[in-house]
Structure 1
Amino acid sequence: MLFGGAGLRTPVPTSDRAPSEPMSKGDDVERVCFLLRVRKERIEEYRRRHTEVWPGMLDALRDAGWRNYSLFLHDDGLLVGYLETDDFAAAERAMAAADVNTRWQREMAPFFKAPDGSTADDARVLLTEVFHLD
């Protein structure tokens, strides 16, 4: 179970949305939030790697339209990601086409609890926004 353990004992519920559908769209900005699970034995290295994100990867994210992107990591490995973009589907396609992203995802794959052969993007759970206050 991807999100079992302390605090989350059942799978995170999902909606009828397509897997890549954003959680909210308003004011021409899509707010996207997702969950992943980092392997406990890799948490410290995961944190360290994110203090040294490759400049080319940062450029690719910006060029693809990812803005206000944050990752939050709990000590049990629960990872929450948040980003804003004009078009999440287009941003995902742009990242999928970026060679630097392919290399980064390959490097990061061992950090995540995901079914064999799946990527972190395949394993992430997109959340539905239920409230927003500007």
Structure 2
Amino acid sequence: MTRVCFQLQVDPSKLDEYRARHRAVWPSMLQEIAASGRRNYSLFLRPDGLLIGYYETDDAIVGDRYLAASTVAAEWEAYMGQIFDGIDGRADQVSVELEEVFNLEQQLSTAAAEDTA
């Protein structure tokens, strides 16, 4: 399993619109996200517009390719595009992926293995 965390910048003047659109994501888009292999997908938004997203997947590259080829995803990204600051292209293809620097379960597992060695 791969854990993916990314960031984007929502235009601070459009935060209410961003929230409203995500309270009513198109059912067809929800299905495409699931079909791409993404699960446990969440978005977190700060008052200044910093958006952090997180999801888990078995293969991020395959999922990205699936969504890149999806007509529904292209329509959703066009619908959402004017809400973001500083992007050129589809938000799902230009977001900044963040480096995972700590994982509790991983470190607990490593510590437990060392204790039994």
Q: Distance in 2 between matches of 1:31 and 1:122?
A: 17
Aligned residue number for residue 83 of structure 1? 55
1:129 matches 2:100: yes
Aligned residue number for residue 94 of structure 1? 66
1:1-134 superposed matches below 5 A:
29-115=1-87, 117-134=88-105
Q: Distance in 2 between matches of 1:45 and 1:76?
A: 14
Preserved CA contact (<8 Å) 1:114 1:120: no
TM-score, normalised relative to structure 2: 0.86
Q: Distance in 1 between matches of 2:65 and 2:93?
A: 14
- Which ranges of structure 2 fall in alignment gaps of 5 or more residues? 106-117
Cα-to-partner distance string for 1:17-52 (whole Å, 9 max, x where unaligned): xxxxxxxxxxxx000000100001110010010000
Quote how far apart the aligned CAs of 1:122 are.
4.1
Quote how far apart the aligned CAs of 1:120 are.
1.3
Quote how far apart the aligned CAs of 1:98 are.
1.1
Q: Distance in 1 between matches of 2:31 and 2:90?
A: 21
- Which ranges of structure 1 fall in alignment gaps of 5 or more residues? 1-28
Q: Which amino acid aligns with 1:33?
A: C
Q: CA RMSD in A?
A: 1.0
Larger-gyration structure (1/2): 2
Q: Which amino acid aligns with 2:89?
A: S
Cα-to-partner distance string for 1:77-131 (whole Å, 9 max, x where unaligned): 000000000000000001111111010000000010124x422134311111111
Q: What count of residue pairs does the alignment treat as equivalent?
A: 105
Q: Which amino acid aligns with 1:126?
A: E
Q: Distance in 1 between matches of 2:56 and 2:92?
A: 17
Preserved CA contact (<8 Å) 1:114 1:123: no
Q: Which amino acid aligns with 1:133?
A: L
